[in-house]
Amino acid sequence: MPWALVALGLIVVSSNRQTEKRKVRLDIRSTVLLALGIGCLQMGFLGSNVDFRFLIPGIGLLVLFIMIQLKLDDPVFNPRFFRRPAYLAAGCTTALANFTMYAMLFQLPIFFHDIRAVSELEIAGALTAMTLCMMLGGPLSGVAGRYIGIRYTAVVAACTNLFGLYLFSDLASALVPGDIIVAMALMSFAGGMAGPVVQSAGMLAIEKENAGMAAGGLSTMRYFGGAIGILVLSLQLNSSGVTTIDQHLSIIPFYAVSLTLVLLVAFLLPVSFKTQRKQIRRNNNRSNL
């Protein structure tokens, strides 16, 4: 609550008053359809096995949602945003990176509680250290983006993430959270470093008047990726009692695939903000012609 109030105060102080107000009507049908689609998709992964009774309808509802949005003049979300490489890269990177990070945030307390019988306070300390490392990576994102560009900032962060995962893969020998703190620090730092510059590149690819919709799309990708990561983790652990080391190690290949895709998708990002602005101006000129 204290941090939420500080954030609210900063928003009020730093935001400009909106002078032009558009009259828009909330599309209840599309909003409910999206909620039902994501909800069914998540329900399909609950339990010890994939439940196709929910999974298939969830996919169908999401496809229907996209088809409806393509036909509307004022959609809840415009799927055409993903035709733009920078926005596609930002959305995919956000979803895939959070697939790993959110799953790990759930996995580590379970692992050290079930396998090593570590106290909750010690586990909380390790998770706090991860958060601090992510906060340190954030300010460096802008510096790196200015000097080596958007694309290579994301590539360096992805490589750092993969190296951290390599250290994390020795999870079986970790007796206390401190044994993998370096791995978690590197991965958290990489996530903090990549996030702001990638999000900015994605937002710059969209017209200013659609900024709210674009930001909402990226936020949805973040939590969608995180939710899927947690659900895949639950399927791999698949235990009604105490989990085993083999179950915890079985999720690491999923992390590796996800972070490798993050590295590959990073090459869709513009080289720098300067080149992206030039591309935006060229596109605007073509539209005017």
Q: Does residue 288 register a pLDDT over 60? A: no
How far apart, in whole angstroms, are the C-alpha atoms of residue 152 and residue 230?
A: 29
Same domain, 72 and 84: no
pLDDT confidence bin for 49, thresholds 50/70/90: confident
> Is 96 inside a domain boundary?
yes
What pTM, to 2 d.p., does this model score? Answer: 0.84
Same domain, 53 and 119: no
pLDDT confidence bin for 286, thresholds 50/70/90: low
pLDDT in tens, 160-186: 999 999 999 999 999 999 899 999 999
Q: Does residue 48 register a pLDDT over 80? A: no
Q: Does residue 239 register a pLDDT over 80? A: no
Same domain, 53 and 183: no
Domain range for 68 is: 25-76
> Is 226 inside a domain boundary?
yes
Which CATH number fits the domain that encloses residue 283?
A: 1.20.1250.20
Q: Where does a domain end: 61, 76, 91?
A: 76
Same domain, 57 and 164: no
The residue-averaged pLDDT of 271-278 equals: 74
pLDDT at 36: 92
> Is 191 inside a domain boundary?
yes
Same domain, 61 and 194: no
Same domain, 178 and 47: no
239: DSSP letter:
-
Q: Does residue 56 register a pLDDT over 90? A: yes
> Is 258 inside a domain boundary?
yes
pLDDT at 25: 73
pLDDT at 59: 92
Q: Does residue 79 register a pLDDT over 90? A: yes
Same domain, 102 and 158: yes
> Is 1 inside a domain boundary?
no
If one counts the domains in the chain, the total is 2
Q: Does residue 73 register a pLDDT over 90? A: no
The residue-averaged pLDDT of 202-218 equals: 89
Which residues have CB under 8 Å from 279's CB, separation 6+?
A: 270
> Is 41 inside a domain boundary?
yes
The residue-averaged pLDDT of 245-266 equals: 95
> Is 6 inside a domain boundary?
no
> Is 165 inside a domain boundary?
yes
Q: Are 273 and 150 in contact (CB under 8 A)?
A: yes
pLDDT in tens, 180-204: 999 999 999 999 999 899 998 999 8
Q: Does residue 287 register a pLDDT over 60? A: no
Which residues have CB under 8 Å from 92's CB, separation 6+?
A: 221, 261, 262, 265
Same domain, 54 and 118: no
Same domain, 139 and 102: yes
pLDDT in tens, 28-42: 888 899 899 988 988
pLDDT at 174: 92
96: DSSP letter:
H
Same domain, 167 and 262: yes
pLDDT confidence bin for 144, thresholds 50/70/90: confident
Same domain, 49 and 84: no
Same domain, 34 and 103: no
Distances (CA, A) of 169 to 22, 172, 194, 251: 51, 8, 22, 10
